[in-house]
Amino acid sequence: MSSHDVVLIPGDGIGPEVTAAARKILEAVAAPLSFQVHRAGLAALEQGEEVLPQSTVEAIQHCGVALKGPCTTPVGEGFTSVNVQLRQRLNLFAAVRPVRNLAGVDTRFDDVDLVIIRENTEGLYSGVENQVTPDVVMSMKVATETACDRIARWGFRFATLRKRKKITVFHKANIMKITDGLFLRCARKVHQSEYPNIEYEEVIIDAGCMKLVQDPSQFDVLLLENLYGDVVSDLCAGLVGGLGVVPGANYGEDLAVFEAVHGSAPDIAGQGVANPLAVTMSSVMMLNHLAETRDDPSCRESADRIKAAYNRTLADGCLTRDLGGELDTQGFVDALIERIEAARS
């Protein structure tokens, strides 16, 4: 089978470093991918383009799949997040972030196996913010029945296909009775009418965060609206070693963009020390997606080889600095590729 065209967006900050690292690893297993590199974020602005160039959007629509590095968003001023724009323009409504322990990465818990499903297109990220008077500002939380129903359906279907047992919705419907109330109503309805065999619970988000850090094993799949999903993703990353080890995917009806949960990490950008594992794990998710949607077993084979190699690398104690080790980005890539080659011989 010929190779799959995939858009590669290096992004900003550590983005070019970690995506280049992931690319070397994909090349080491001869993954059947053909990358088309496109810009977004500050990298695009610096070239005189828009932060999210139309050519990048069209390339993803054409290829159907992208691997994306993180993009920087200015805090408290400037342009709308490229990430939010991309998810809204391509209608990538479901973010999926698997959060699992990895052998070799010491953490407080050793039984974390969560999947976070985040509604990706609305809520407080709808971008409706106003200056009402000089000293009053307002941000609007938007929830539509269409999007709440769609993410609930997607979440239950995902849980069924992946043989997960339980879905927990984190919410704040005690305070945001109408918006979070709608999110809950849609989830309940989908559960009762279509997926009664999946266990379902609702937890107020503040208590849910406490429960997560006390005993994450009580949760399985978490279903959240946009902002809660964003925040809880990083909290959960902290349970398994940090942002360097949590991958992610953004799915629409026909398109999928794979990216780590982490951002552009300006504090370490350009130093060559970022952990490339989260984006590498995202590329494994991408290969599995291609295997399923394009019926190409060679993608699954590449994914399995990379996964086996990173598990071996970590178990052997080859860790980047964020995980308490001493390897820089290139050192980790070398260690991982060594294990890919060792498995081949």
- Residues forming contacts to ligand NAI in the complex (CB under 6 A) are 14, 18, 70-73, 83, 243-244, 259, 262-268, 274-275, 278, 322
Output the smallest distance, CB 308 to ligand NAI, in A: 21
Instruction: Give burial (CB, 10 Å; 0-12/13-18/19+) of 75.
Output: exposed
147 or 265, CB closer to ligand NAI? 265
At 171 the three-state DSSP class reads strand
CB 70 → ligand NAI: shortest distance, Å? 3
CB of 234 to ligand NAI, least distance (A): 7
In terms of DSSP bridges, do strands 249-251 and 94-100 run parallel, antiparallel, or are they unpaired?
antiparallel
DSSP state of 46: T
Closer to ligand NAI at the Cβ: 13 or 32? 13
Beta carbon nearer to ligand NAI, 124 or 291: 124
Q: Which is nearer to ligand NAI, 52 or 287 (CB)?
A: 52
The smaller minimum CB distance to ligand NAI, of residues 85 and 179, is found at 85
* Least distance CB 121 / ligand NAI (angstroms): 15
Cβ-proximal residues to 112 (8 Å cutoff; 6+ apart), any chain: 99, 100, 101, 216, 217, 236, 239, 240
Nearest to 181 by CA among 172, 190, 189: 172
Least distance CB 204 / ligand NAI (angstroms): 25
* Assigned token pair, 343: 């498995």
| CB neighbour list of residue 305: distance below 8 Å, 6 or more residues apart | 29, 340, 343
Phi, psi of 18 (to 5 degrees): -80, -30
Pick 255 or 268: Cβ nearer ligand NAI:
268
Closest approach, Cβ 268 to ligand NAI, in A, equals 4
Residue nearest ligand NAI (C-beta atom): 263
For the record, the structure tokens of 30 come out as 């001869």
Name the residue nearer to ligand NAI (CB basis): 168 or 280: 280
B/e letters for 165-174, b = 16+ CB within 10 Å, e = fewer, are eebbbbbbbe
CB of 161 to ligand NAI, least distance (A): 25
The smaller minimum CB distance to ligand NAI, of residues 80 and 144, is found at 80
Specify which residues 231 forms β-bridges with.
none
- Closest by Cα among 213, 207, 288, 294 to 247: 288
Read off the tokens for 275: 């952990």
CB of 241 to ligand NAI, least distance (A): 10
